[in-house]
Amino acid sequence: MDPARNCALLILLGTLWACQNESTDDSGRFRSILEDTPGIEGRAEYLNTPYVTAGDRLYMVGHQDGSFPELGWHIKGEMGGIWNHPIKLMDGFEASLRLGDREIPIRDAYLFTNFPMANRHEYRIDSLELHIERWQFVPDAKQGISVSYVLQNNGDSEKTLELAFTGHADLRPTWLGERTQMKDSTDQASYDPELGAWIVKDEGNPWYVVFGSEQSPTRQEPAGNPYMGKGASGTLRYHVQLAPGATKTIHFNIAGSYHSAQEAINTYLDINDQRLAYLTEKRDRYATLAGLSKLTTPDTVLNQTFEWLKYNCDWLIQEVPEIGRGITAGIPDYPWWFGVDSEYALQGYMAVGQRDIVHETIALLDSVSRAVNGNGRIIHEMSTNGAVFNPGNINETPQFATLIWRTYQWNGDREFLERYFPTIRDGLNWLMAENDANKNGFPDGFGMMEIHGLDSEMIDVAAYTQAAYSHASLIAEALGESALALEYRQKASELRKKINREFWSEDFQSYADFMGTDQQALHLIKDAIVRADTLEKPWAIEELEQTREEIRKHPGGSQSRPFVLHHNWVVNTPMEMGIADPEKAVLALETARKFVNPFGMFVTGIDRDESAGADEGSFRGSKVFSYTGAVMTLPTGVQAVAENNYARPDVALDYLKRMTRSFSYALPGSMYEVSPDYGMIAQAWNIYSFAVPIVRQFFGIRPMASRKEIRIRPQLPTSWDRASLENVLVGENRVSVFYQEKDDGSKMIRILQDKEDWHILLDIGDYDHSSLEAIKGEVKVHSEKEDGKLECSGREIEIIYN
């Protein structure tokens, strides 16, 4: 036997002896550790839907009732279970109790409680007068999970039981494994008597999973594997003696490796030895996340949603050391890395202080895009084995420029700009040289709307390209590239004019979905009518038929012109980026409000009908996974950003409130990708939809860390008579903003910052100059007194005004 393994086993045996000779039970310590941690109970009607136990090296997906059904479509039926990317470890596990000759399964949990860093299932076995809890969490940076069963005897007699734990291993590659020569083989299970655990190996690969308990089993046996695939199963049985009123906890550890058995065993032993310490560390780290950009408003539901979205952000971090570390798009079917999802989400991550993962994700996207494309084009989707599925949609390359600039505003790191500016410069060259056939400044190709045939000149691609040139000009200026900055600035200015002139549809009071030829439009109308007919949307059919007749009566020849066909949410991106002419913006924003339901904005407007206005029920999706008919958080968040850009915070808040209706609707503590309960159970870009409207717009925090400067322009909803946002990280500084409307009608703003040498440029809009009173800090009225701008300094600034 390997000496290191032998030593580890001796340590384990010593630990087991100690545990077996102590009368203490860890169940109370779990509750003690999580006593002040927020937990949310699930709804009974959603016990048969997924949850996640999250970690950055490993995560587990099962159902809230404690079962592990075959779920997911990306790898059909395989997206649940335990994943240690780039491989899967287990399809799941199950437990049962034996009393005499009776075998009673522990299943059908009656209650599921989600904690930010752990979960709990609760079971009742009335015939045995038992209450059972199952706890689980994934320690940070570990390829393993801790699972604990807590058995409580609520009867008057002692019980002698046998607990059986059966693990169903399935060591298999992730999506696109065949592209990186990852070939699944049959799993072989063997019992290790010294470890008291099953070790399962894929016979063709160095892939391992180890599962067992710190308590020695009384016996073990192979088990049948009920899942599809090439997995193997094993059962472990344990003696349990329960006095009346007594509680007994049995801990299980599951650990994996895609390198060696020894690595899996080491992780297994480590978690066994440090379980409670790791849970405490994770609890404390999550408390730190909660304290950053801490929101307090009169809307307690919004406050809670915002807090948990910060936890959700952490759930979506995935590291594969051989490839990189970054946020993934969503669980369970998109647990890998994306360009555009990150480009939205990371803006929110930065605003809530989760900065390290922002820089790590950007580095990953840039390095892989450089390796695969080599021309500045940003990839769309990459599996955790390194295989790139889509080298990039057209919108992702310009959106990268916006992400880099907005991240720089927060970090103030010149080297950061220098590192990524070559990618931006090359990407803009590629964008226009290879994707603008008619040289009109609008790139051709797929943007956010993945509708077949919708790949001409898309409004979102145009809007994000304009923003890219605008932000690239600022980057070039910061790096001393004045000539290039001027070139980009001129292109941005021209594109803004062209978008407002050429994409605007006066008839529809909206920006067009796309610009294309009559032939393209007629083909898309034909498909759209079929879609509307299938969904029984007669108003949409009528509108589409009228548009078709208008095209035939007034042909445009072979020239491109704007068309409004689908009322896709992307028609609102000119307002999201703040480039729409104000008068057109207000008209378009009002038009957009027709395409909502109580949860938010429809992805495709023609999917809406009159019942949508009051439909607060479950999403009725198709049997095959599809976004048809979907209301999603990203379009709704984009709309909130757009409303705020044109000084309509009350409407923006309405969109946030719509989204909060789906918070904890199905998975407690989370918000589904498709509202309220369809698609991914946790989605990265949700934080964009909340953090940007709240941090950047309602509280108006717009940093320029490179100048040690923070611009603050509050634009709070009228229903908030008091609100605060605390511990917002900007560069090396930390800032908090407190707002209050007093009984006498005056307003108070208080700002705290860690660094006294940073400048606060406060814009309070219109106010009575004679009413301004500086209570704390140094406050200077801007030279243009009528614009409401104040230059402030000091660690504490407080003003009162009318």
In this prediction, residue 787 carries a pLDDT of 64
Sign of CA pseudo-dihedral 368, 370, 373, 377: positive
The string of pLDDT tens digits covering residues 96-134 is: 999 989 999 999 999 999 999 999 999 999 999 999 999
Residue 14 resides in a domain: yes
- Which of 270, 33, 217, 50 lies closest to 135 in space, CA to CA? 33
The string of pLDDT tens digits covering residues 387-404 is: 999 999 999 999 999 999
The residue among 250, 271, 288 that closes a domain is: 288
The string of pLDDT tens digits covering residues 474-486 is: 999 999 999 999 9
- Which of 10, 450, 71 lies closest to 194 in space, CA to CA? 10
The string of pLDDT tens digits covering residues 549-574 is: 999 999 998 888 999 999 999 999 99
**Which are the contacts of 284, defined by CB distance < 8 A and separation ≥ 6?**
none
Tokens coding 238? 């344990």
Tokens coding 236? 């472990």
In this prediction, residue 716 carries a pLDDT of 98
The residue among 269, 288, 307 that closes a domain is: 288
Helices and strands, counts by H and E, the chain: 17, 40
pLDDT for 784 beyond 70: no
- Which of 520, 566, 562, 521 lies closest to 543 in space, CA to CA? 566
The parent domain of residue 781 ranges over 699-801
Whether the link from the prior residue into 668 is cis, omega within 30° of 0, is no
Residue 265 resides in a domain: yes
In this prediction, residue 769 carries a pLDDT of 83
The residue among 288, 323, 341 that closes a domain is: 288
- Tell how strand 87-99 and strand 102-106 pair up: antiparallel
Sign of CA pseudo-dihedral 331, 336, 341, 346: positive
pLDDT for 785 beyond 60: no
Q: Give the number of other Cβ atoms within 10 Å of residue 433's Cβ.
A: 9
Residue 748 resides in a domain: yes
Radius of gyration of the chain from Cα atoms?
28
Specify whether the CB–CB gap between 744 and 736 falls below 8 A: no
Residue 770 resides in a domain: yes
**Mean pLDDT computed over every residue of the chain:** 94
In this prediction, residue 1 carries a pLDDT of 41
Residue 242 belongs to domain with CATH number: 2.70.98
Residue 549 resides in a domain: no
The string of pLDDT tens digits covering residues 572-628 is: 999 999 999 999 999 999 999 999 999 999 999 999 987 777 788 999 877 788 899
In this prediction, residue 20 carries a pLDDT of 39
> Structural domain tally of the chain?
2
pLDDT band at 326 (very low <50, low <70, confident <90, very high): very high
In this prediction, residue 783 carries a pLDDT of 56
Residue 101 resides in a domain: yes
Residue 530 resides in a domain: no
pLDDT for 30 beyond 90: no
pLDDT band at 285 (very low <50, low <70, confident <90, very high): very high
Residue 488 resides in a domain: no
The string of pLDDT tens digits covering residues 502-559 is: 999 999 999 999 999 999 999 999 999 999 999 999 999 999 999 999 999 999 988 8
**Which are the contacts of 682, defined by CB distance < 8 A and separation ≥ 6?**
52, 54, 312, 315, 316, 330, 331, 667, 670, 671
Provide the CB-side half-sphere exposure for 743 (13 A, CA): 0
pLDDT band at 788 (very low <50, low <70, confident <90, very high): confident
Specify whether the CB–CB gap between 420 and 404 falls below 8 A: yes
- Which of 79, 59, 48, 57 lies closest to 227 in space, CA to CA? 79
Amino acid at position 22, single letter: E
Residue 766 belongs to domain with CATH number: 2.60.420.10
